[in-house]
Amino acid sequence: MSLADGLPEDWKEVLHDAIHAPSFKELEKFVRKERQEHTVFPSEDDLFSAFRFTPYADVRVLLLGQDPYHGPGQAHGLAFSVQPGVPPPPSLVNMFKELQSDVGAPKPRDGSLIPWAKQGVFLLNTVLTVRQASPNSHAKHGWEPFTDAVIRAVSAKEDPVVFLLWGKPAQKKKALIDAKRHIVLEGVHPSPLSASKGFFGSKPYSTTNAALKKHGQHTIDWELPS
């Protein structure tokens, strides 16, 4: 069974070259071995959740994360999001604080960002798997060429997309984006280490909606069930 079997057909089409590249074959071997020997998050079923909830044609915002949460029950294939019923990790708590101050949305009842994904907010991590309790353990094993291809594919869309790049690792991906056609919003990462250095007060949600509106796109309803 190929790792790419879990990708929806529309994404398989635009990522054809990436999933047939030698680096992807190596990645498949690595992930298979890791799953045999360790606990790996997210589950195989959730690996491509972001692609399933946000079809290629529907992507209007791309929010780039790094690698998945590495605690039990947290990661479910959407950057920054946790499964319903799981307490939001610190970065997500900070995102919700800014959400409240930016657009007046009440505190969400849980940390699931599925409602955003269903509106065209593509929640992509640069690395899609992680070993339990071992952050960045799956970095530099082949996910990056794949997710770079994903970013390029979104950049190839004709309609303008808003790219939210928070923190230096995300901002390094700016070179993959056609900034003449799309809107790139760079900012501070919401992690506790940096949120007070410019994430709070940056109004990323209303700024994104203003950019979408300016380009004739539907805005995002950022308010989550409370």
Annotation says 159 is catalytic: no
Q: Cα-flanking dihedrals φ and ψ of residue 221, to 5°?
A: -85, 100
Phi, psi of 20 (to 5 degrees): -110, 10
Question: CA-CA distance, 98 to 93, in Å (whole number)?
Answer: 9
Q: What is the dihedral of CA 123, 124, 129, 132, to 10 degrees?
A: -40
**Tokens 């997210």, residue located:** 42
Burial state string for 160-179 with b = 16 or more CB within 10 A and e = fewer than 16: bbbbbbbbeebeebeebbee
- Of 67, 102, 110, 178, which is the active-site residue? 67
Return phi, psi of residue 124, to 5°.
-105, 130
Q: Which of 166, 148, 179, 113 is nearest to 27 (CA)?
A: 148
Give the residue numbers marked as catalytic: 67
